[in-house]
Structures are given as structure tokens and as C-alpha cells.
Amino acid sequence: MSELKNVLTIGRYFRNKFGEKIYKVPVSISGFTCPNIDGTVAKGGCSFCENDSFSPNLQERKPKFKLNPKISENPFLDKQLAQLQMQFEATKQRLQNKFGAKKFIVYFQSFTNTYAPFPTLKALYEKALSFDNVIGLSIGTRTDCVTDEILDYLVGLSRDKEIWVEYGIQSFYDETLEKINRGDTASNMEYWIKRSKEKGLNVCGHLIYGLPGENQEMMLETFKKTVALNVDSIKFHPLYVVKNTLLTNEYRKGRFEPISEELYIDTVVKSIVNLPSNISVQRITAGIDDNTLLSPQWCRNKHQQIKNIRLALEKEGFNY
Ligand code: SF4
């Protein structure tokens, strides 16, 4: 059997670039929300998003304030900075104990992490970069929540740090974006992804396979458009239904059928075998093993999914 070709995973990308393993440390700062939840663009959020519009538990934990880029005062900034430090230190300690981790990227993961007053963003990003052994940031956001001011500032940081912007794309079909209440358009996504790339930032695009009404041809078309935008990395997710979301109602009424594991694997494999060798892969699937998952059940076991995708890729001559 001929030798397998290595997929450029983000782990391999970082090892090639920095000569060692880099660990992402996810943080979730209270007060951050999303214009698709707070009513600026829409209410309720994306149909698959678990947020406090639907969840009584989350409503109880709802912070007393929500950040908004238009309101510059932020009386909770000190608390947020302390929370950032606490979360980072706790995860760093765990990664050091378990894996001997040495270098880290702070990943602003939950909600929309550029949707806040600019001074708040600067304070949080710079605090994260000040922690020992942090080599960079990864910032999860939407393309309707970046500005030239924010991108230019990130370009400045990227002169001596590893800075990534992670955009949720999900689909490049406007009819799908409407169905999932995404509150953003394909043309706006294209515009800001191109702009981020022109400015020289590292961009990761998140894609979801199995969105309502999408067949494999559509999923692969979104993948092709993402690649054509010259992104640096891609994350692939299957769409699964969790409780307390807009999608729950659609699913319970029989109006949404989740993607099968076979179709998901086939679509991910077809994507990866056609991925240009300079684009890395940060994630090939996602899952959740708790009682919030309604369907599909195959999304419960992420390790088994990864194993199955690995095997399918091996058959195509690729090593993930
Ligand atoms: S953009 Fe993200 S945070 Fe906002 S509603 Fe959609 S999934 Fe939720």
C-alpha cells in the first residue's frame, strides 16, 4: 500500500511553524453576546444556538449586563479581566499537568468576541497576550461584527503574535442562512473574509454540514467558495439538535431531519481530499454527550466519529 498523505491539521501547522505543540485555551467571558441574539440583527440567534432566549437555566445565569459596541462604558471590565485570567490559569494548569504543555493560544470562543466596545476588546486581548507563554489569540466572531478599526488593530498585534480570526460561515447559500436565522448574508461574509485576508490576517472558516434543505452538492459548493476565499484553515461541524433552540421546534414538528453519519463522513472526506495543501483543518466533527442532545444520536460519540472519519480518509490515501 502506498504511503498515506498527511492532512495539514492545525497541530501539524503549528509544529511546522513553531517547532512544538501549541495548545488552544478556550475562554468564555461573561457579558459578551451577539447581535443576532440581542435584537440588533435578530432575536433568538441562529436556529442551532443554545442561548438565553430559550433556556431557563441560561436565563438564571444571565449576567446583569451585556456588552454592546455602541455603549462605550463598561463598568465590569475589571471583573472580565479577572475572569479571563482565572479561566486561562485553570486550563493552562490542567494542560501542563496532563500533557506538559508549554505554549498557548488564547481562544475567545463563546458568542461574538468582537461585539463589544473597542477599548474593552483591546483590554481583554492585550491582557490575554500578556500571560506567560501565550503566543497568540484566536477570536471567534461573525463577519457583521468586524470593522476596519478592529481588523487593523489585530494586524498590528499580528506583527509579533499569532493572531487568528475565526468566522462562522456555515453556508454560502442565502436561502439556508435565512432558514437558520443567521442574520448575515453570503455577500457580507465574502466581503469581510476577503478584507481580513487582504490585510494579512489568519482566517479560519467554520462550516456546518447538514443544514436544513441542503444536499451534498450545496455543502460542497460552500466548501469550494470558502477555499476560493483563500482562508487559512477550516473547521467542519455536523448540525445536531440540542434542546432549547429554534431548531428543537423544527425537529419536533418533523420539519428537520438531521444528516446521517454516512453522508456527513462522505462530505467531509470529499472536502478534505480536495483541500489545497496550504489550508489546515482545525476540526473534522463535533458532538455532545449529555441530555441536551436530541438528535442525531451518532453525534453523541465524538471519538467514534473521528475514528470513522480517519478510516474513511485512509481509504482515500490520507492520514488525519
Ligand atoms: S452567531 Fe454564534 S452566538 Fe450568535 S446566534 Fe449564531 S451561533 Fe449564537
Write the pLDDT tens digit of every residue in 7-25.
999 999 999 999 999 999 9
Strand partners, 59: none
User: In which domain, by residue range, is 221 found?
Assistant: 5-319
pTM of the prediction? 0.95
What is the predicted pLDDT for the residue at 68? 86
In single-letter form, the type of residue at position 211 comes to L
Number of domains comprising the chain: 1
* Ligand 1 pocket check for 268: Cβ under 6 Å: no
- Closest to 137 measured CA to CA, from 118, 116, 122, 115: 122
* Ligand 1 pocket check for 272: Cβ under 6 Å: no
* Ligand 1 pocket check for 258: Cβ under 6 Å: no
Atom of ligand 1 nearest to the CA of 182: 6
How many angstroms separate the Cα of 170 from the Cα of each of 105, 167, 184, 207? 24, 9, 11, 4
**In this structure, which residue's CA is closest to atom 6 in ligand 1?**
46
* Ligand 1 pocket check for 189: Cβ under 6 Å: no
Ranges of residues in the chain with a pLDDT under 70 are 1, 52-64
CA atoms of 273 and 87, how far apart (whole Å):
37
**In this structure, which residue's CA is closest to atom 5 in ligand 1?**
45
Which residue is it, cell 468576541? 113
| C-alpha 158 to ligand 1 mean position (Å) | 26
* Ligand 1 pocket check for 32: Cβ under 6 Å: no
Assign residue 161 the CATH number of its domain: 3.20.20.70
What is the predicted pLDDT for the residue at 217? 98
| C-alpha 199 to ligand 1 mean position (Å) | 25
